[in-house]
Amino acid sequence: MACEGTLLGAENAVRVAMKSLRVALDVPLATLFDYALPEGLEADVGDRVVVPFGARQRIGVVIERAPHSAYQARLKPIAGVRDDAPRLSGEAGSISTSPVWQRRGRR
């Protein structure tokens, strides 16, 4: 199941069906961030992706693929998928529930 999103181009906006990704970033917030997976890109759990975060781009890890997001109208698309390192194992999804991850927001 895909959700609708808008990619803004130089000339006009184009409506495309997008899937949602939950991404872990190395920031001092104990939360996952939702991003859109644009048509033509493939990313699975454990893949490293480049995403916009504020005025910069950051590398994150896909923790979960979701059919929709609570923020779907405002999702930013991922910029790319990194292929210079192997995909993390199937245990990547357990990152968000680990005690170390949950303590990160309490610095």
Residue 73 is predicted with a pLDDT of 82
pTM for this model (two decimals): 0.69
Q: Which two tokens mark 88? A: 């993390």
Residues in the chain: 107
3-state secondary structure the chain: CCEEEEEECCCCEEEEEEEEEEEEECCCCCCCEEEEECCCCCCCCCCEEEEEECCEEEEEEEEEEECCCCCHHHCCECCEECCCCCCCCHHHHHHHHCHHHHHHHHC
Residue 67 is predicted with a pLDDT of 82
More confident residue, 88 or 97: 88
Cβ(30)–Cβ(101) under 8 Å?
yes
Residue 92 is predicted with a pLDDT of 53
Which domains are delineated in the chain?
A: 3-106 (3.40.1440.60)
Residue 97 is predicted with a pLDDT of 52
**Which of 8-12, 76-80, 101-105 has the lowest average pLDDT?**
8-12
- 102: Cβ–Cβ under 8 A, 6 or more apart, which residues? 30
Write the single-letter amino acid at 2. A
Write the single-letter amino acid at 104. R
Cβ(45)–Cβ(93) under 8 Å?
yes
